Structure 1
């Protein structure tokens, strides 16, 4: 049996290293993963010549430390996820990479280490996705903590997993203790039973609910809030979490009760209601500005004709030569309609079922009418009015053309080798 041929064709990324760090062999998968040929690697020092790490000294290199520990202990060593950039074969710089690896010593009959086998996995895509998710969660928390409302989130079973900083600032109860159920202490005893009953009904029925309740502040005073819970669903319509918000309506509620109690104050009702409206409108504009400045494209399409009502800068950047507001998608972007996207919008509008597209290619006409490929990830989601009637569609997504182009380049480099 030709063990060399077997080693080179194993379906894992393996490299065979001598105790003095010289490369003795490598599997085909390893060569493909590292963008190298055998001629580039065989006989070279693993860390100093084949894969030098410019940001870490040789003595502090965690790969060297792990290999030498495997040699000393004569036991398999695992290396936690680490960033280890790989120099490009064309000398144009380094690719940022994240790896998982293990080092297994191979010993002779006397127990002396002959070789070390490194098995490595390129987990760059997973780690980048993890970091993107963490960044997205950080942005959500920042936005939620910045809002004047008290925001909380619950899993599908109704268990709390997030309270905004405003909850702690208002009630004086630390977030961790709120998560453990102490939020109940802040609810007025006369409102708590009704609130919990309504919440359990919403969980059972899978429907939104709202209720006026009194919440105690850190000074011991109660104020009226409008408490509302909305279910968040995936593309299949399955509830994946619940979002709760508490809006302070104390001043408005007292105002309305006082005005209704005295006909002499009816003339003041219009001014007070207008003031409350401006306050609500300012909050709406704050949220709108967050979307307008978001690092993703966003628009609102109104009515069954899908007429542009609101777009942010990232969305306009996809069509810099067009005026979109007031026009339908079919009128403004006939090439998009021809690719079936208007039909998808119709389906979302008629059924209320969201549509998610990941890393797809869309042909978009430039100012000269020439079709160009754009690679995007986006979601179409139904937009409802206060009567829960569909009145439009929200579009939210990212332009991933740069990521797609980089992926193609890497594939071309690999195929060229």
Structure 2
């Protein structure tokens, strides 16, 4: 209620009594109220309209132009609602249903001029939209008739046609600008990289695309300064980069820059790597108004490059170690074989043993190999039925796998030359177990049975030296070679964690 001249004026009654057509809409464009003038001009009833979606009650009919007519009115209403500013439609064609005397309902083309005004609450939120429409159908028809008769200029001046023409031109220009704006906004939102717009010296988030939302864990950041919206970046230099760009107008570019972000509420910070650009945005006067942020998450690329470098470094290390092993094999084999032919045979056999273990490691992408698989590879040429194995699965890292490959090759070679595998009935039994769970050790025994009598060698051969060298230097373990008369026995005690053992 309002007081005027001592008389109480019922605003609802004044609204209904106005000769100008009005309709009151909710923010979701449902009809909340209409006045009598609106009912008269649309040939409708209040009961049939209240609560209805506006464009269900009025859809501009079945014509081809109907969707475009509806779009113009809807966009004007949405602009008024979203910007909280009054929006005008100088001229819009919108058909309304009219019931004829014979009861048939037809759609009649009408021309309207409309003003859409947002009604705000005390906090500035939109609670209603007020649509004021003026039926200018007769005026538009007179203008069209004047064009057909050639009396355009005089009649247009009398009827305000020039004003309407200019209004139509402005409206069409605004429509084109709005279409272009929507196209640019769509490109902005669908950009494959992350994009956002910051405004003012505090870098307030004005808008951002879905890729940026995904980057920061879909936080509610619109309308917040960057230091409040993303507090974890404050001590990482990025806020200072924004300050510098805003102060100097010079863009800033980052390449594979490391950033700690909290991508899930309550979760620990994650390390990301970003390529990005901070580009200053200038207003019409040339002053800096904000910053445009654009970039890409290159975390996977950076990590892939790091993995590749690590693999190359590891490959170089392995090649050097392999060459050193080959060099050692060549030197030791040469000392034990004066004859070039026997040297070539021994050297080639040991290189093949090294190659077999490399094949096993390649299959596992050099992550390691199982003890049982290595033993099987180095003894299968002598017949699987002659070598009995028993023990639990023991995965070995690459370096230990190579050492065990050489050890088993030497043991099998010596057994084939001098031991149990040199006679038809000889056999080998290999068993192992894991001891000391706190500091696991592999306890392995190689035992030859039913072979020829064993004679203690007068001096250590290359095979014995290679075995001892691999066990003590490469595996940090212990080995005992027992040349018992009833069969050769080799006993090994190897720590599975070489670094802890050393």
Query: Which TM-score tier does this pair reach, normalised by the shorter chain?
Result: 0.3 to 0.5
Structure number with higher relative contact order (C-alpha < 8 Å, ≥ 6 residues apart): 1
Structure (1 or 2) with the larger CA radius of gyration = 2
Provide TM-score, normalisation by structure 2. Answer: 0.32
Provide TM-score, normalisation by structure 1. Answer: 0.38
